[in-house]
Amino acid sequence: MHLKIRHRTEYRYETPVHYSIQELRLTPPQVAGQQIEKWKVSTPIKSNVSQDAFGNTCSVFVQEAPYTSMMIEAEGEVKTQDAFEYPDDSKAVSPYYLLQQTNLTEPSEEMLSYFKGDLPKKHSVDVVLKLASAVQNAITYVPGQTNFATTAAQSFAMKTGVCQDHAHVMLGLCRASGIPARYVSGYFFAEESPNLASHAWIDFCSDVQKGVWTSIDITHACLVDARHIRLAIGRDYYSAAPVKGVRSGGGGEELSASISIQQLT
C-alpha cells in the first residue's frame, strides 16, 4: 500500500510555560515491508536529531522562551507490504535486556495464574499467537478507561484497555515465560476504525541466536501486515512514546491529537 500520513499534536496551557524539553520518536524507519518515500517532522524550534539505544530516530528540542501553545506535526508518505520478521543489526539492544520487566509490564500473580495454560513454552510463532488471542479475549478494547500510565496489572484487573494495554500485558507474559519482547509504537491503517490510527503492538524474539524478531498485533491477534507502519521500539510505551516531555509552568494542559491516514493510488 502507498499511504499518506499526517499526525498533529497540539498543546494549550492555562498559563505560560517557562521551560520545556520535548522528545519525539515520530520518524518511521526503513525496515522490512516499509519504504519511506518522504517524511517531515515540524517543531516550534529546531530540534537535535540522533539515534537512541534502540536505533529509533529521536528528535529533541528545548524551549526557554515562554509560550501558551505548541504544535508538533509529522507527515509523509510510506509504501508498505506484508512483512512480520525483523532481523537486528549489530547495534541493536541485546534480546536478554528485553527479558526484564518494567513498571508498566510487571505481571501480577493473578495475571500469571489466569494465563497459566496459555503461557508459551517455546519461541514459536503459533504458541505466541495463541497467547495473543488469549490476551485479546481477556482485555476488552474500551477507549477512555486507561491512560499512558496504566500498568499491565491494572488493565488486567479492569479487564479493559486499548492497544497500549494489550501490548503491555503481552510483554509481561512473554518476559515471564523467558521470551524477550519489546514494545512497538506506530500507525494502523483501517478506514473503518480511525480510532486505531495511533497503534501499538509487540515484537518477540523468535530466534535469539540470529536476532530475529517477529511482530504480532495483540489487538487483532494477528501477525503484522501492510496495514502497520512502525515508528519506534522500546521496553514499553514510555521508551517508545511518539511524543513526551517535561515542562515548568503552564498550569492546566489541554491536548488535542489527530492522525489521518489516506491510501494513495
Residue 88 pLDDT:
82
Residue 94 pLDDT:
86
pLDDT tens digits along 123-132: 889 999 999 9
Q: Cell 501490548 belongs to which residue?
A: 167
Q: Are 2 and 226 in contact (CB under 8 A)?
A: no
The CATH topology of domain 2-80+243-264 is Immunoglobulin-like (2.60.40)
Q: What cell was used for 97?
A: 535486556
Q: Are 180 and 204 in contact (CB under 8 A)?
A: yes
Could you tell me which of 245, 241, 240, 203 has the C-alpha nearest to residue 224? 203
| Strands (E) located in the chain | 2-24, 34-42, 48-51, 57-63, 67-80, 85-87, 140-141, 160-161, 181-188, 198-207, 212-217, 222-223, 228-234, 243-249, 253-264
Distance CA 39, CA 45 (A): 18
Residue 121 pLDDT:
84
Residue 129 pLDDT:
94
Strand partners, 34: 31, 80
The CATH topology of domain 85-240 is C8orf32 fold (3.10.620)
- Number of other CB atoms surrounding residue 32 within 10 Å: 14
Distance CA 142, CA 242 (A): 21
Using the 8-state DSSP alphabet, how is residue 116 labeled?
G
Residue 210 pLDDT:
82
Which amino acid is present at 122? K
Residue 89 pLDDT:
67
Chain centre to alpha carbon of residue 70: 23
Could you tell me which of 217, 182, 169 has the C-alpha nearest to residue 93? 182
**Tens-digit pLDDT string for the chain (265 aa):** 999 999 999 999 999 999 999 999 999 999 989 999 999 999 999 999 999 999 999 999 999 999 999 999 999 999 999 989 888 865 568 888 999 999 999 999 999 999 998 998 888 899 999 999 999 999 999 988 898 899 999 999 999 999 999 999 999 999 999 999 999 999 999 877 766 689 999 999 988 888 889 999 999 999 999 999 999 999 999 999 999 999 999 889 898 989 999 998 7
Rounded to the nearest 5°, which phi and psi values hold at 239?
A: -85, -5
Strand partners, 2: 79, 264
pTM summary value: 0.93
Domain coordinates in residue numbering, the chain: 2-80+243-264, 85-240
Could you tell me which of 1, 9, 40 has the C-alpha nearest to residue 264? 1
Q: Are 243 and 72 in contact (CB under 8 A)?
A: yes
